[in-house]
Copies of this chain bind each other. A is one copy, B any other.
């Protein structure tokens, strides 16, 4: 219990960091009246969107909480509510900081690059620490209450179900937030670009473009609020599933210490992340170098911190833990036995080192595929010289190729962690990846702030040097944004394997007499794999279509404003920004609902249909295979989309830096097309695959629990 309390303390520390740093950021000058005007318009739009989004999600949430209450009882319903509310809160707070930091970053960038960087990064760090801190608090306080005041045993089914329900709440909100925000931001971005840059020939963020405020609102509700909710979900689900798998696999006296360890690891890494944030300084190097200094500090300090946490929680690191194999009975199937195979604290430490190494490798690979210094982006830029078509072809080639190295890294990590400590080892690998979430989110959330700052500088007519500085800050944002997504989906792959392990263990526990054949020779397993693999494709199609359709509506709206009010282009009258914001808001909300429900309903539908056709055992086999099918194809769909999109974006930036003819050249036009295509790839469809995978898995676990309780 002491360990849980320490974790809670670290979570509180993160929140305090957030409050203190917020104070520092808000104290800074918000610039002149024009800047504040613009910022106010962005704030208003972002708040209006988020209010509407949360109202809509609330309807779904209420239905779900009632369902969870009737199927699994009060405690699970409370867990669901905590997950859902905090996921929403994380997005809301992150967005609120972001819409205030943007104008202050623009103002700070008038002084120096360093001042701009500091302001933007601090605001990102607030969001980052809140994601990690609130995530940690959600689980550790709830868990602490359940095993303390409420008096449940840590492996009690009520605790396990509550943790799963908590994850479900977080996931459900986050898929809506990721997708709704993603559709908003990219519909506005693509629409604004098409009608502004391409048709009217006015620069990005030109105040004459009626979609320009919507574009800036999008940065905040998509790239900031949506991303924060997504990473909150990833954090909660990863730690939660690690604890659940321990509860299911390790049935002995070590279980409480083991279940608390992920919380403590999360806690100490919040401290190393906070230290890391203070290392983000330009010095003589590049902006990326400054950010990496922070990241590396957090990651390197995490090594001794995790070692200490493990030692503190488990005591003798060489003592054998586990032995659940005997406790769980001799009839337990492969996964369970493997998951509970004996291991030592040192084994777990090494598994967590594997997690850190995976994080480092994914960061490096993503930088390679999306950075302007390497072959992939350069090849897309070069292909732009021969036209739109070759740009897109090469971009698609890179997007397909970019899946290879991450997959190999994940495969090596799975093998390594499994050989050390079975399924539990994989779970701890995922946990240590997520332990760095505070820092990773900080790097990501700083991006939209600088993007907004650039927009405000442009619209307020600030001196050119400001825009140059914010552009420089924004450019690395493409890579850091891609990094977060690769990292989230990579950790999702590990978490999904653990979730599948939990699924098989649950199945054994709930239906001990049912023999489920998960062998690849069972055609219902193949059917499940195929249907699971289909989900990310259909989901991606929904996301892409939604952006295309909404962006088309933006184009029509802007054209109409230009037509009916010629004063706009002349610069004599102000466009109706709010009308465009409102249009995008409605479109995004409308388009997010069906795809978000897909991963909730598909597992349930597949189970019942196959059960009808081929009996309950094959129904469970298909459902299990579906869980793996969705990760097997989702990993590739998500990585190809996020890396490919980042590469396209930076290929454009690379050309804008004066290569292949620079701005205005034919190559640049082709690169703008690639960038446009990459937008929904990397910011709508791709990242939303991550919560989708988790929801599918969690729904399956909840379905099992509901079936066990009610037949």
In the bound complex, what is the Cα–Cα distance between A282 and B148 (angstroms)?
81
A390-B552, A534-B404, A640-B537 given; A504·B529 CB < 8 A: no
Q: Which of these, B194, B385, B403, contacts A390 with CB under 8 Å?
A: B194
In the complex, which residues of chain B have a beta carbon less than 8 angstroms from the beta carbon of A318? Answer: none
Contact B190 A390 (CB under 8 A): yes
In the bound complex, what is the Cα–Cα distance between A335 and B517 (angstroms)?
11
Contact B680 A537 (CB under 8 A): no
A676 within 8 A of B: yes
In the bound complex, what is the Cα–Cα distance between A493 and B523 (angstroms)?
12
In the bound complex, what is the Cα–Cα distance between A506 and B552 (angstroms)?
56
Contact B544 A338 (CB under 8 A): no
- A416-459 vs B, CB cutoff 8 Å, 1 = contact: the mask equals 00110001001000000000000000000000000000000000
- A385-400 vs B, CB cutoff 8 Å, 1 = contact: the mask equals 1111110111011101
| Chain B residue at minimal CB-CB distance from A398 | B541
- A368-397 vs B, CB cutoff 8 Å, 1 = contact: the mask equals 000000000001001101111110111011
A142 within 8 A of B: no
A42 within 8 A of B: no
In the complex, which residues of chain B have a beta carbon less than 8 angstroms from the beta carbon of A379? Answer: 545
- A481-497 vs B, CB cutoff 8 Å, 1 = contact: the mask equals 00000000000010001
- A79-90 vs B, CB cutoff 8 Å, 1 = contact: the mask equals 000000000000
Contact A414 B680 (CB under 8 A): no
A59 within 8 A of B: no
A552-B386, A555-B386 given; A523·B404 CB < 8 A: no
In the bound complex, what is the Cα–Cα distance between A190 and B681 (angstroms)?
24
Contact A544 B394 (CB under 8 A): yes
What is the CB-to-nearest-CB distance from A145 to chain B, in angstroms, rounded to a whole number?
A: 33
In the complex, which residues of chain B have a beta carbon less than 8 angstroms from the beta carbon of A400? Answer: 537-538, 540-541, 544
What is the CB-to-nearest-CB distance from A685 to chain B, in angstroms, rounded to a whole number?
A: 8
Some 21 contacts from A to B, beta carbons below 8 A apart, are A194-B386, A333-B519, A334-B519, A386-B552, A388-B676, A390-B552, A393-B680, A394-B548, A397-B541, A400-B537, A400-B538, A401-B537, A401-B541, A407-B530, A407-B531, A415-B524, A415-B613, A493-B530, A497-B523, A518-B520, A533-B533
In the complex, which residues of chain B have a beta carbon less than 8 angstroms from the beta carbon of A673? Answer: 387-389, 392, 673
Stretch at the interface among A23-31, A102-110, A208-216, A621-629: A621-629
Q: Which of these, B386, B517, B531, contacts A411 with CB under 8 Å?
A: B531
A344 within 8 A of B: no
In the complex, which residues of chain B have a beta carbon less than 8 angstroms from the beta carbon of A164? Answer: none
Stretch at the interface among A230-238, A346-354, A465-473, A630-638: A630-638
A677 within 8 A of B: yes
Q: Which of these, B401, B521, B544, contacts A501 with CB under 8 Å?
A: B521
In the bound complex, what is the Cα–Cα distance between A533 and B636 (angstroms)?
8
A198 within 8 A of B: yes
A410 within 8 A of B: yes
What is the CB-to-nearest-CB distance from A378 to chain B, in angstroms, rounded to a whole number?
A: 13
A594 within 8 A of B: no
Contact B390 A388 (CB under 8 A): no
In this complex, the member of A401, A493, A504 whose beta carbon has the largest number of chain B beta carbons within 10 angstroms is A401
- Shortest beta-carbon contacts, A-B, top 8: A389-B676, A335-B521, A397-B544, A401-B541, A400-B541, A388-B673, A397-B545, A518-B520
A93 within 8 A of B: no
In the complex, which residues of chain B have a beta carbon less than 8 angstroms from the beta carbon of A633? Answer: 533, 632-633, 636
In the bound complex, what is the Cα–Cα distance between A401 and B524 (angstroms)?
23
- A597-635 vs B, CB cutoff 8 Å, 1 = contact: the mask equals 000000000000000011000000000110011001101
Contact A534 B394 (CB under 8 A): no
In the bound complex, what is the Cα–Cα distance between A396 and B407 (angstroms)?
23
In the bound complex, what is the Cα–Cα distance between A190 and B414 (angstroms)?
42
A357 within 8 A of B: no
A288 within 8 A of B: no
Contact A521 B338 (CB under 8 A): yes
In the complex, which residues of chain B have a beta carbon less than 8 angstroms from the beta carbon of A519? Answer: 333-335, 518-519
In the complex, which residues of chain B have a beta carbon less than 8 angstroms from the beta carbon of A403? Answer: 534, 537-538
A547 within 8 A of B: yes
A392-B677, A530-B410 given; A334·B551 CB < 8 A: no
A393-B190, A521-B333, A548-B397 given; A537·B404 CB < 8 A: yes
In the complex, which residues of chain B have a beta carbon less than 8 angstroms from the beta carbon of A708? Answer: none
In the complex, which residues of chain B have a beta carbon less than 8 angstroms from the beta carbon of A415? Answer: 523-524, 527, 613-614
In the bound complex, what is the Cα–Cα distance between A198 and B391 (angstroms)?
14
Q: Which of these, B333, B390, B538, B625, contacts A404 with CB under 8 Å?
A: B538
In this complex, the member of A520, A633, A672, A675 whose beta carbon has the largest number of chain B beta carbons within 10 angstroms is A520
In the complex, which residues of chain B have a beta carbon less than 8 angstroms from the beta carbon of A518? Answer: 519-521
19 new A-B contacts at CB < 8 Å, known A497-B523, A537-B640: A334-B521, A335-B521, A386-B555, A389-B676, A390-B552, A393-B676, A394-B544, A396-B677, A415-B524, A415-B613, A418-B523, A419-B614, A423-B523, A504-B520, A504-B521, A533-B533, A533-B636, A534-B636, A632-B633
Residues 499-544 of A at the B interface (beta carbon under 8 Å) = 500-501, 504, 517-527, 529-531, 533-534, 537-538, 540-541, 544
Contact B334 A548 (CB under 8 A): no
In the complex, which residues of chain B have a beta carbon less than 8 angstroms from the beta carbon of A526? Answer: 414, 497, 628
Contact A388 B386 (CB under 8 A): no
